[in-house]
Structure 1
Amino acid sequence: MSAPVQVPRVLSIAGTDPTGGAGVQADLKSIAAQGGYGMAVVTALVAQNTHGVRSVHVPPVAFLAEQLDAVSDDVEIDAVKIGMLAGREVMETVSAWLDRARPPVVVLDPVMVATSGDRLLDADAEEALRGLLPRVDLITPNVPELAVFAEEAPATSWGEVLAQASRVSAAYGVRVLAKGGHLDGESVPDALVDGSRVVEFTGARITTTSTHGTGCSLSSAVATIVARTGSWEQATADAKRWLAESIAHGEDLRVGSGHGPVSHFAGLWARGGLTTRLTAAEVERDWWDAVADVRAAIDDLGFVRGLGDGTLSKEAFGWYLAQDALYLRDYARVLAEASRLAPTLGEQAFWASGAHGALVTELALHTDWLGGVEPAAPSATTTAYLDHLLATAARGDHRVLAAAVLPCYWIYADLGERLRGLATDGHPYRDWLLTYGDPAFESATEQAIVVVTRLAAEADDATRDAMWRAFRASCEHELAFFAAPPDGTV
Structure 2
Amino acid sequence: MGELSVRDVPRILSIAGTDPTGGAGIQADLKSIAANGGYGMAVVTALVAQNTHGVRAVHTPPVGFLREQLEAASDDVIIDAVKIGMLGGAEVARTVGSWLADVRPPAVVLDPVMVASSGDRLLSPDAEDALRALLHHVDLVTPNLPELAALLKVEPAQDWEKALEQGRRLAGTYDTAVLVKGGHLAGTTAPDALVMPDGERGFTISEFSSVRVDTKNTHGTGCSLSAALATLFARTGNWAHALEGAKAWLQEALETADLLEVGTGHGPVNHFAGLWQRGLAPLPAPTGSDVPPAGKLTAALWSRTAALRERIDGLAFVRGLGDGTLDQTVFGRYLAQDAIYLRGYARALARASELAPTLQEQLFWAESASGALEAELDLHRSWLTANAERRGNSPDSGGSGSGSGVRQVPADPAGGLVPGPVTRGYLDHLLGPDRLPDGELEYARLVGAVLPCFWIYADVGARLQSPNHAQHPYREWLQTYADPGFAAATVRAIGILEGVLAVGGTARDAAQEAFVASVRWEHDFFAAG
Q: Paired residue for 1:7?
A: 9
**2:147 corresponds to 1:134:** no
Q: Quick one: which amino acid aligns to residue 9 of structure 1?
A: R
> In the aligned structure 1, how far is the partner of 2:116 from the partner of 2:187?
21
Q: Paired residue for 1:37?
A: 39
Q: Provide, for residues 336-388 of structure 1, a one-character-per-residue CA deviation record: whole Å limited to 9, x for no partner.
A: xxxxxxxxxxxxxxxxxxxxxxxxxxxxxxxxxxxxxxxxxxxxxxxxxxxxx
**DSSP 3-state at the match of 2:119:** coil
Among candidates 270, 277, 282, match of residue 263 of structure 1: 270
Among candidates 189, 198, 221, match of residue 214 of structure 1: 221
Among candidates 240, 261, 264, match of residue 233 of structure 1: 240
> In the aligned structure 2, how far is the partner of 1:110 from the partner of 1:149?
9
Q: CA deviation at 1:266?
A: 0.3
Q: Provide, for residues 28-63 of structure 1, a one-character-per-residue CA deviation record: whole Å limited to 9, x for no partner.
A: 000000110000000000000000000000000000
> In the aligned structure 1, how far is the partner of 2:136 from the partner of 2:279?
40
> In the aligned structure 1, how far is the partner of 2:73 from the partner of 2:5?
21
Does structure 1 retain, via aligned residues, the 8 Å contact 2:17–2:87? yes
Among candidates 66, 88, 93, match of residue 90 of structure 2: 88
Q: Quick one: which amino acid aligns to residue 81 of structure 1?
A: K
> In the aligned structure 2, how far is the partner of 1:56 from the partner of 1:193?
33
Q: Paired residue for 1:22?
A: 24
**DSSP 3-state at the match of 1:47:** strand
Q: Quick one: which amino acid aligns to residue 43 of structure 2?
A: V
> In the aligned structure 1, how far is the partner of 2:254 from the partner of 2:61?
32
**DSSP 3-state at the match of 1:17:** coil
Q: Paired residue for 1:101?
A: 103
Q: CA deviation at 1:100?
A: 1.2
Q: Paired residue for 1:254?
A: 261
**2:75 corresponds to 1:73:** yes
Q: Quick one: which amino acid aligns to residue 179 of structure 1?
A: K
Among candidates 181, 184, 198, match of residue 182 of structure 1: 184
How many residues align structurally?
A: 273
Q: Provide, for residues 387-435 of structure 1, a one-character-per-residue CA deviation record: whole Å limited to 9, x for no partner.
A: xxxxxxxxxxxxxxxxxxxxxxxxxxxxxxxxxxxxxxxxxxxxxxxxx
Runs of 4+ in 1 over 2 A off after TM superposition: none
Q: Quick one: which amino acid aligns to residue 133 of structure 2?
A: G
Q: Paired residue for 2:112?
A: 110
Q: Provide, for residues 182-202 of structure 1, a one-character-per-residue CA deviation record: whole Å limited to 9, x for no partner.
A: 011111000000132111001
Q: What runs of 5+ residues in structure 2 fail to find an aligned partner?
A: 198-202, 281-529
**2:147 corresponds to 1:160:** no
> In the aligned structure 2, how far is the partner of 1:118 from the partner of 1:62?
29
> In the aligned structure 2, how far is the partner of 1:97 from the partner of 1:80?
12
Q: CA deviation at 1:272?
A: 3.4
> In the aligned structure 2, how far is the partner of 1:35 from the partner of 1:194?
25
**DSSP 3-state at the match of 1:159:** helix
Q: Provide, for residues 430-471 of structure 1, a one-character-per-residue CA deviation record: whole Å limited to 9, x for no partner.
A: xxxxxxxxxxxxxxxxxxxxxxxxxxxxxxxxxxxxxxxxxx
> In the aligned structure 2, how far is the partner of 1:163 from the partner of 1:149?
14
**DSSP 3-state at the match of 1:48:** strand
Q: Provide, for residues 197-247 of structure 1, a one-character-per-residue CA deviation record: whole Å limited to 9, x for no partner.
A: 111001110000110000000000000000011010000010011000001
Q: CA deviation at 1:111?
A: 0.2
**2:230 corresponds to 1:245:** no
Q: CA deviation at 1:3?
A: 2.4
Q: CA deviation at 1:101?
A: 1.0
Calculate percent identity across the aligned residue pairs: 64
> In the aligned structure 2, how far is the partner of 1:265 from the partner of 1:211?
15
Q: Provide, for residues 144-202 of structure 1, a one-character-per-residue CA deviation record: whole Å limited to 9, x for no partner.
A: 00001122100000111000000000001010000000011111000000132111001
Q: Paired residue for 1:53?
A: 55
Tell me the TM-score normalized by structure 1: 0.55
**2:124 corresponds to 1:122:** yes
Q: CA deviation at 1:102?
A: 0.8
Q: Quick one: which amino acid aligns to residue 116 of structure 2?
A: A
Q: Paired residue for 1:344?
A: none
> In the aligned structure 2, how far is the partner of 1:77 from the partner of 1:101?
9
Does structure 1 retain, via aligned residues, the 8 Å contact 2:145–2:163? yes
**DSSP 3-state at the match of 1:188:** strand
Tell me the TM-score normalized by structure 2: 0.51
Q: Provide, for residues 253-274 of structure 1, a one-character-per-residue CA deviation record: whole Å limited to 9, x for no partner.
A: 000010000010001101139x
**2:225 corresponds to 1:223:** no
CA RMSD of aligned residues (A): 0.9
Q: What runs of 5+ residues in structure 1 fail to find an aligned partner?
A: 274-490
Q: Quick one: which amino acid aligns to residue 224 of structure 2?
A: S
Q: Paired residue for 1:143?
A: 145
Does structure 1 retain, via aligned residues, the 8 Å contact 2:5–2:80? no
Q: Give runs of aligned pairs for residues 463-474 of structure 1, distance below 5 A.
A: none
| Higher Rg of the two aligned structures | 1
Q: Give runs of aligned pairs for residues 285-434 of structure 1, distance below 5 A.
A: none
Q: CA deviation at 1:82?
A: 0.2
> In the aligned structure 2, how far is the partner of 1:168 from the partner of 1:180?
16
> In the aligned structure 2, how far is the partner of 1:120 from the partner of 1:28?
23
